[in-house]
Structure 1
Amino acid sequence: MTGDREDVKARSTERDKGEWQGPVPPEQLATMERAMLSLPRMTREVFLAHRLDGASYFEIAGATGLSIRQVERHMAKALLRLSRFMDGDERTPWRRWWNAQCQRWFP
């Protein structure tokens, strides 16, 4: 489980140089790549190990030294952030908090 940019690119579907022929439009793949790269390293590794490599939470916990509960938390965090990215909200949790506070402080 490396988790760097090359690993994410290697795991993603290659795009043809010509016409799009894959199951997912290139724009959506680009959004997903940005979302994956925005995840913290350990969260990204846990997500990729479970969803792409098919590793169980128990196997991931053993390989990373995390508890099963921590693996569950990383998966929940990854799914939430990826879902927000795909819905068009690419702000970080800190930025979402800051915007909410600004609206409250400066109506």
Structure 2
Amino acid sequence: MTLTIFGVSKNAIVAIGLLYVLIICENAQGAEYVVGVFKYSNPLFKVEQVTKTQFDNCYSDYNPIKTYDSGHDKVKVEKGTTYFICAVPDYCGYGMRIVINAT
């Protein structure tokens, strides 16, 4: 004898519940990418995480969100947009900057 609730078998209700959980759960995956601007050997270079305004102006006002200077920097970015520039004066204007859009 199969147990039913409102005419639907218990197994069907469990299966529907599991399907619902799978549908509403967001699939989270991570990946590691090597980006040239974060790997450097010159001790004068630094990477600065900055605001959009600082990025657009290529200038951190000596107040970046975070500074990376190891030459082998690993940066964990959260979902959304993150901005980075080279801290060496004028290098950002020559293209040493990057925007990361994490989805």
Normalising to structure 1: TM-score of the pair?
A: 0.20
Normalising to structure 2: TM-score of the pair?
A: 0.21
Give the structure with the higher percent strand: 2
